[in-house]
Structure 1
Amino acid sequence: MPAREHLPAAWREVPVLDVVIPVHNEEKDLGPCVARLRDHLVRTFPYPFRITVADNASTDRTPAVAAGLADSVAEVRHVRLDRKGRGRALRAVWSASDAPVLAYMDVDLSTDLNALLPLVAPLISGHSDLAIGSRLTRSSRVVRGPKREFISRAYNLILRGSLHARFSDAQCGFKAIRGDVARVLLPLVEDTGWFFDTEMLVLAERAGLRIHEVPVDWVDDPDSTVHLVRTAADDLKGVWRVGRALAVGALPLDRLARPFGDDPRDRELTGVPRGLARQLVGFCVVGVLSTLFYLLLYSGFRTFTEAQAANAFALLVSAVANTAANRRLTFGVRGGDRAVRHQAQGLVVFAIGLALTSGSLAALGAASGDPAHSTELAVLVAANLAATVLRFLLLRAWVFPDRHDTPVPPHGTARADDPRNAR
């Protein structure tokens, strides 16, 4: 890390690091947290720093505690927001901060503070644009229950399969970002809650930003107020929203001039990605979500129509969504070129699936007369599994074939306007 005299002049006039602690009803933990964090920074961080308490709509004594800390400790300031949401608090404080490096951590300090300097050092030096603490690397030391461990790993596996994320831990409450990057990136992040972190990281990767990962030691807080099921459900909704936006080209990352350079995958995968294993993972994730979507639609349609019509309507709607998702997420096709043709071919694949599932329903009806609804669903699931295998083969070989005639620029090609070249 550079010595203080070698820092840019503007950095000597403001805190180099602004650490944000988003809180909601944390009157008991806030004081000890700030005291411990300040003591650690005084001992280990060689540059000016600031600690910002972002109180988002607390209803207990948290605002009074935060105001008292801001009055008594020179490095502490307090920001009050009248609406809840960790993402909303971080966006508000980071967007207004004058510090060149911005960070945040959870108030319970579950992450060992010894990882803070390794987290922000690559951002201060200009080596990286964002940095995240990871609980899922081999060298991380984590103490938490099996339920949280399973949910965390399953969630990050979904991100890798559906959004092709390469970072290992989306939700660890220990992250940092360069101030200039935040001013460009944050206006594109829609979520205001817990999915804020994931969306920010996915967009950062797509914008070609460099994300640095730091293994952390992390101990679960047994008194955490995070509602796991509700948070997981909101996160899955966010994954679907971002994935759908990427699939239809709704995000501006592919249309705007990127000040930080292209995503290497955009250069490598101009048409269709060639990795079978990667495609299988993406196809399976999209297939699971599509099947759940199909079953929900079928159950809804079945309440007012007969089985064959409900099956046809549900398959048609889910097939359009499935083709769009596989087009972008599994086979990496961007933009509107050939989109109509791909959907038409997808409908042919849909017709094959309709024939398989309708035939299964017809056979079931002939065998048992008036089968139970649960039996219908079981038969449809089995038929859809068979149709899924055939669908992948047709999508890969016919709808989205590997286009070897597409010229691929070399991996080392750099943009002339990439500011990283000037660092």
Structure 2
Amino acid sequence: MENHFPAISITIPAYNEESRLPGYLNSILAYISQNNISYEIIVVDDGSTDSTSAIVKSYSENNPNIKLIRLSHNCGKGYAVKTGMLLAKGKLRLFADADGATPINELDRLKKYIDSGAAVVIASRALKDNSCTIRAHLHRKIIGSIFNFIARLLTVKGIHDTQCGFKLFTEEAAKTIFPLQQINGFGFDVELLFISQIKGYKIEEVSVNWTDIPITKVKLFRDSWLMFTDVLKVRLNYLRGFYGSI
């Protein structure tokens, strides 16, 4: 029997997202219907204590293309993303934050660069583009800029925004990069981009529309420190040979 793989897999890590996830799922389904794309949506519930899983189950009961993976306890956003991306079967593989800060139709901007030969395309809030609007609180911009400076200094080169939760991979790149991922926390984005660079994948950074959604799960000062320690772990993992040969 012939296997039919979707054009795109969308992984959504979710931790206590009962209020925000339904709206984003609805917008994704509307986008997919409008563009007539074959797809799968993989929601990885990262040990939620609310009704996140029940909500996703209600969608999946009526739509087999929506799949729920429920982790028994909170393992970290990086672990949840890795879990979904390793299960994905699409020719293109996107992970997107459950809050919908990056509208799903921004995928169109990213796909253009895949068509031009990129293997990894990431959304960016840092690049200037008059066609895009970024709505973010000042303190978040400042801390984000400091963290990205440190990330560029110690690991990834030439990337202005490592942390935007909207990243697209080709099937081949995803199959190479995600099995090597070691970081389970918020610093996993830096690790993925670092692995992409040392493996020689072409990365494009693309301006998108983005809105700072209330009730963010990120505690800026605490998580910025944790992400900084993750950057150091990436360097250490590299020296230990965890990412294989170049």
TM over 0.5: yes
Does the 8 Å contact 1:115/1:214 carry over to 2? no
Counterpart among 58, 65, 68 of residue 58 in structure 2: 68
RMSD: 1.9
What is the Cα deviation at residue 235 of structure 1? 0.7
One-letter amino acid of the counterpart of residue 200, structure 2: G
- 1:17-69 alpha-carbon deviations (Å, 9 max, x no partner): 011111111112222221111102221x3431122211111111111111111
Q: 2:59 & 2:192 partners in 1: Cα distance?
A: 30
8 Å Cα contact 1:94/1:179 also seen in 2: no
- Which residue pairs with 2:43 in the alignment? 53
Q: Which residue of 2 aligns with 1:186?
A: 178
1:17–1:239: structure 2 CA closer, same or farther, 3 Å change rule? same
Instruction: Tell me how far apart the structure 2 counterparts of residues 21 and 223 of structure 1 sit (CA, whole Å).
Output: 17
Q: 1:92 aligns with which of 53, 75, 83?
A: 83
Q: CA deviation at 1:252?
A: 4.8
SS for the counterpart of 1:104 is: strand
What SS does the aligned partner of 1:212 have?
strand
SS in structure 1 opposite 2:61? helix
Could you say which residue in structure 1 is the equivalent of 2:155? Answer: 163
- Equivalent residue letter for 2:163: Q
Match of 2:203 in 1: 211
- In structure 2, C-alpha distance between the alignment counterparts of 1:238 and 1:173, rounded to whole Å: 17
1:73 alignment partner AA: N
Largest Rg, 1 or 2: 1
Q: Is the 8 A contact 1:133 1:175 kept in 2?
A: yes
Conserved in 1, the CA contact under 8 Å of 2:156 and 2:193? no
Change (3 A) 1:185 1:60: same
5+ residue gaps, structure 1 = 1-9, 259-423
Decide whether aligned partners of structure 1 residues 193 and 141 sit closer, same or farther in structure 2, where only a CA change above 3 A counts.
Answer: same
Per the TM alignment, residue 74 of structure 1 is displaced from its structure 2 partner at its CA by 4.2
Q: 8 Å contact 2:24–2:100 — kept in the other structure? A: yes
**Equivalent residue number for residue 133 of structure 1:** 123
| Equivalent position amino acid for 1:182 in 2 | A
With normalisation by structure 2, the TM-score equals 0.91
**2:95 matched to which residue of 1?**
104
Structure 1: distance between partners of 2:70 and 2:180: 23
Question: Could you tell me the percent identity over the aligned residues?
Answer: 25
2:27 paired with 1:30: no
Cα displacement string for residues 133-179 of structure 1 (whole angstroms, at most 9, x for unaligned residues): 00000114211111000011111111222225211111101111122
Correspondence for 1:6: none
Tell me which of 127, 132, 142 is aligned to 1:150: 142
- In terms of fraction of residues, the more strand-rich structure is 2
Output one character per residue of 1:115-138: Cα deviation in whole Å (capped at 9) or x when no partner.
Answer: 112213433x37111110000001
Judged with a 3 Å threshold, the aligned counterparts in structure 2 of structure 1 residues 18 and 184 are, in CA distance, closer, same or farther, namely same
Asked if the contact 1:195–1:235 (Cα under 8 Å) also holds between the matched residues in 2, the reply is: yes
Structure 2 match to 1:14: 5
Q: CA deviation at 1:113?
A: 2.7
TM-aligned CA distance change 1:65 to 1:165, over 3 Å:
same
CA contact (8 A) 1:131 1:176 kept: yes
Per the TM alignment, residue 245 of structure 1 is displaced from its structure 2 partner at its CA by 4.1
Higher relative contact order structure (alpha carbons within 8 Å, sequence separation ≥ 6): 2
Q: Where in structure 2 are the equivalents of 1:216-295 lying within 5 Å?
A: 216-246=208-238, 249-253=239-243, 256=245, 258=246
Q: Deviations over 1:61-120 (max 9, x none)?
A: 111111111112343221111232111111111112221211011111111333112213
Aligned length: 242
Q: TM-score, normalised by structure 1?
A: 0.54
Answer 1 or 2: which has greater helix percent: 1
Q: Within 1, Cα distance between the matches of 2:112 and 2:39?
A: 13
